[in-house]
């Protein structure tokens, strides 16, 4: 996949997913001009973007609904909220990555998939 300059900067600045245009997701960053804005009005979607306030690709709690973790990590168990699996994740996400940068080291072993579990 070839990334444009915006996508590359976004990947370096914050967890981000640019899957394929016109679908893109970069928390708290306005989408590129290629973004399909009709995706803002998808019924029952988790996205709570408020474009007028500069809020993009976040859920109602201000957490990103898509992210790239640049390392191997333990996935939350099915049905477990990421904030229950990783105690520092909410603070990391809500601070745009300024606080708790090692959030992935703070996990609850009973809420993540350990090797071989399902």
Give me the average pLDDT of each 10-residue run along the chain (118 residues): 40 42 62 78 76 80 73 87 93 87 92 78
For the chain, the structural domain boundaries read: 5-53, 69-118
Query: Burial letters for 61-85: b for 16+ Cβ neighbours within 10 Å, e otherwise?
Result: eebbebbeeeeeebebbeebebbbb
- Predicted pLDDT of residue 17: 46
- Predicted pLDDT of residue 28: 66
- Predicted pLDDT of residue 27: 63
């Amino acid at each position: 996949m070839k990334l444009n300059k915006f996508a590359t900067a976004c990947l370096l600045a914050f967890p981000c997913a640019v899957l394929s245009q016109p679908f893109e997701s970069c928390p708290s960053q306005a989408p590129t001009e290629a973004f399909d804005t009709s995706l803002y009005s998808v019924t029952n979607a988790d996205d709570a973007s408020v474009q007028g306030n500069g809020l993009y690709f976040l859920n109602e709690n201000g957490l990103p609904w898509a992210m790239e973790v640049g390392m191997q990590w333990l996935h939350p168990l099915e049905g477990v909220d990421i904030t229950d699996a990783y105690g520092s994740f909410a603070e990391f996400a809500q601070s745009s990555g300024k606080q708790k940068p090692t959030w992935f080291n703070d996990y609850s072993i009973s809420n993540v998939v350990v090797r071989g579990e399902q």
